Chains A and B, each alone.
Chain A
């Protein structure tokens, strides 16, 4: 009964979403205030219906209802309650319901916080969001209905894939989806602006917080996914340039460009068409990511079994939304003439450069990710594009990006002189070169990691310079600087912090370039040396778990005869899924990770395969990403973003006239 209720609520949501598309769009066209104001209650209704549907599915998981096929395929009664709940979105069908629920939540947020929006723009934004909802709810109902029953019910479920039974991965999809869906909102704003035929500073002020929020969530989601791959898969790496990873990186890259160009629209009313285009592409990349992950057209190390019918449906959705958006763009983009004029050397110019470089990187990643698919379709050649390609092709683009991102924030709007900016960056340059030579000296002949450290120090140094500059640090009394720092807009702090976060991630990457690993077969009592530590295997024994059994090794790490750490990596056997998983042991002091994995054991010799890693600065990768997300959130909390609403009514008399 509960499952049918969930199914019904979802079907109801489809109808409400359809109404949310048709009525407000029609109302905005006819300037009919009553039709337009129907958008808000419809958005509330749609959200309630989807939330109810999601709650029903969660209930089915919580009580382990084996008459529901989706539960049977993905859950088991022996699973801990936490993973029963998170298992609701740990599978294709459930994750899609989460997707549309977050979309409906965003619609709700637009209607609730968008009081200051011109009514036609608001109605159109909600209408487009409704249209996106229609496509995805229809997709769920047609190809991925999670409420399908199975009769007679099997005695118990087949269990959730053990590698997914993890708290990091339980949080990963919701964060990614918050990012993807955030770009659905900026997309809706872009389409609404194209229909209206106008983009102005007020529009930019509305798009910016959404793109900031989406970007922050996506940053967190990608970092969490990378962290999960690092500690759960036990390969010792953090990024594999895998299609599924690239699929989340592409919207992030385009979103980064969007984030910056939206500032130019807001402040200077320039780059309008370009920003609208970026908003469209960012959502397109989000859809493409969903398509790549769900259709299985690409061979990924993260592949799960999948269904071509679903891929086809998502491809149709992608073509519908993107095709429609680009047609509209081609038709209406002419109407949006730029008003702000700027010199090539200016803050705007720096942002254009950022956009170009980031978009070039996305183009490279896009080609590398999709080429195997095209090669197969066009030439029937089975090829794959691996990490060497991506490293080689993106590196020369990342270098100028890191160089330029230091200078950009120091430039004034409209027209700037290059020389004063360069002068102000001498300290950062000094720190950068210092870090480079120091790293070269300490690590020997490893040039590339040293270059990485140099750039990391340069970017962080420039971010500090930016803040020091704005607060007139050392040029005036300290108390004066403190007062200035407190009065500095949070957006400025956010930008500097996010930029410094990139520097920290860069340092983490450089550190990982110096990582060491060793693979040994060890019997209990054996020792091995690596990275200046002595690693001793004390023994391997059985340990029971709730729904698995494990072989757990005890490894003692010694330095100069003194015990530093005791590490216990294990290898779990999940009898229900008939699958092994690797549980890595990690000891970190925030400067480096010691990382140990136990592989197979040989019963004849009593030896176990042990892989040990020394990962320099690995924690900085996630700390840096977290700092970037914090920077985004801080920028989002800027007073100017929050109180911008009342200004808009005055700026847009057209909106007021229609209400």
Chain B
């Protein structure tokens, strides 16, 4: 086998490998890309996902909204809470053990589907390993909802998020920035 021929073989194999990898990636991408939506994205209607499409919902766990309901649905324990970005609120139900760092008033990202009744059924509540960590998507969603304006200083501590009433406009942080 000459070098030229061998090189051709290798190039051919390379092309097949790369081509199939690309094709696989693209097909898998179409169905499995998971979008992030904030409560405002959903409530304002433009980006409301269909009930069969899984997406990530993120925001703050509204203070005082967590209800544990161990009796519903046979023996399966269910947790109800509300996720807010300051402007809008989405109710969430989740069956499972909440991650160790799940707290009221703190940032959360959940994966699941939105029912026709407007309740988000989470299949996963994403955990973090660190108390001070704020998921970047959540920070962005809060920014867009006007809850926190980055030019007026750093994000408030989780303890202060907790005390803010999400539906009233904050006098210190007026207006909405939009995106």
Contacts and interface: CB of A to CB of B under 8 A. Distances in A.
Interface of A: 161, 163-164, 233-235, 296-297, 299, 301-305, 338, 341-344, 352-353, 356-357, 359-361, 363-364, 367-368, 371, 380-386, 388-389, 392-393, 396-397, 519-522, 528, 577-582, 597, 599-600, 602, 605, 607, 609, 611
B160 interface: no
B1 A301 contact: no
B36 A609 contact: no
A338 B70 CA distance: 69
B96 A611 contact: yes
B130 A304 contact: yes
Given A302-B129, A304-B129, A364-B25, A385 B75 contact: no
B131 to A, nearest CB: 6
Most A CB contacts (10 A, CB to CB) among B1, B10, B13, B129 go to: B129
B21 A578 contact: no
A159 B105 CA distance: 23
B24 A397 contact: yes
A521 B6 CA distance: 64
Given A384-B34, A385-B34, A388-B32, A163 B129 contact: yes
Interface of B: 1, 3, 6, 9-10, 13-14, 17-18, 20-21, 24-25, 27-29, 31-36, 56, 68, 70-71, 75-77, 95-98, 100-101, 109, 111, 126-133, 135-137, 140, 179
B110 to A, nearest CB: 12
Nearest to B3: A341
B35 A381 contact: yes
B18 A161 contact: no
B25 A609 contact: no
A597 B97 contact: yes
Given A341-B3, A344-B9, A605-B71, A385 B32 contact: yes
Nearest to B14: A356
B128 to A, nearest CB: 6
B137 A299 contact: yes
B38 to A, nearest CB: 9
A363 B28 CA distance: 14
A392 B28 contact: yes
A344 B17 contact: no
A578 B13 contact: no
A569 to B, nearest CB: 11
Contacts, number: 152
Contact of A519 (B1, B95, B128, B136): B95
Contacts of A303: 128-130, 133, 135
Contact of B109 (A296, A299, A381, A599): A299
Contact of A602 (B21, B34, B70, B130): B70
Contacts of A364: 21, 24-25
Given A519-B77, A519-B95, A299 B136 contact: yes
20 contacts: A299-B109, A301-B126, A304-B128, A305-B130, A305-B132, A342-B6, A363-B21, A364-B21, A371-B33, A384-B56, A389-B28, A396-B20, A519-B96, A521-B75, A521-B77, A581-B100, A582-B97, A599-B97, A600-B98, A609-B70
Contacts of A578: 131
B52 to A, nearest CB: 14
B11 to A, nearest CB: 11
Given A389-B29, A393-B25, A519-B77, A360 B6 contact: no
A233 B126 CA distance: 12
Nearest to B134: A305
B17 A520 contact: no
Contact of B17 (A357, A383, A392): A357
Given A304-B133, A356-B13, A605 B70 contact: yes
Given A299-B137, A344-B9, A519-B77, A384 B36 contact: yes
A197 to B, nearest CB: 20
A383 B140 CA distance: 13
A503 B135 CA distance: 38
Contacts of A389: 28-29, 32-33
Nearest to A523: B70
A161 B140 CA distance: 26
A566 B97 CA distance: 21
A276 B115 CA distance: 53
Nearest to A302: B129
Contacts of A392: 24, 27-28, 31-32
Given A161-B130, A303-B133, A382-B140, 9 more contacts: A301-B128, A303-B135, A305-B133, A342-B6, A360-B18, A364-B21, A528-B75, A582-B100, A605-B71
A621 B137 CA distance: 33
B1 A233 contact: no
Nearest to A598: B97
A285 B56 CA distance: 28
A224 to B, nearest CB: 16
A147 to B, nearest CB: 22
Contacts of B140: 382
B37 to A, nearest CB: 8
Contacts of B132: 305
A360 B21 contact: yes
A600 B96 CA distance: 10
Contacts of B31: 388, 392
Contacts of A343: 1, 6
A303 B97 CA distance: 20
A396 B24 contact: yes
B24 A382 contact: no
Contacts of A304: 128-130, 133
Nearest to A380: B179
Contacts of B68: 600, 602
A383 B128 contact: no
Contacts of A602: 68, 70
Most A CB contacts (10 A, CB to CB) among B27, B68, B111 go to: B68
A161 B129 contact: yes
A609 B69 CA distance: 11
A533 to B, nearest CB: 16
A371 B10 CA distance: 29
B33 A385 contact: yes
A382 B55 CA distance: 10
Nearest to B100: A580
A424 B164 CA distance: 72
A359 B17 contact: yes
A592 to B, nearest CB: 21
A187 to B, nearest CB: 23
Contacts of A305: 130, 132-133
Contacts of A233: 127
A249 B31 CA distance: 24
A264 to B, nearest CB: 12
Most B CB contacts (10 A, CB to CB) among A235, A342, A356 go to: A356
Nearest to A582: B100
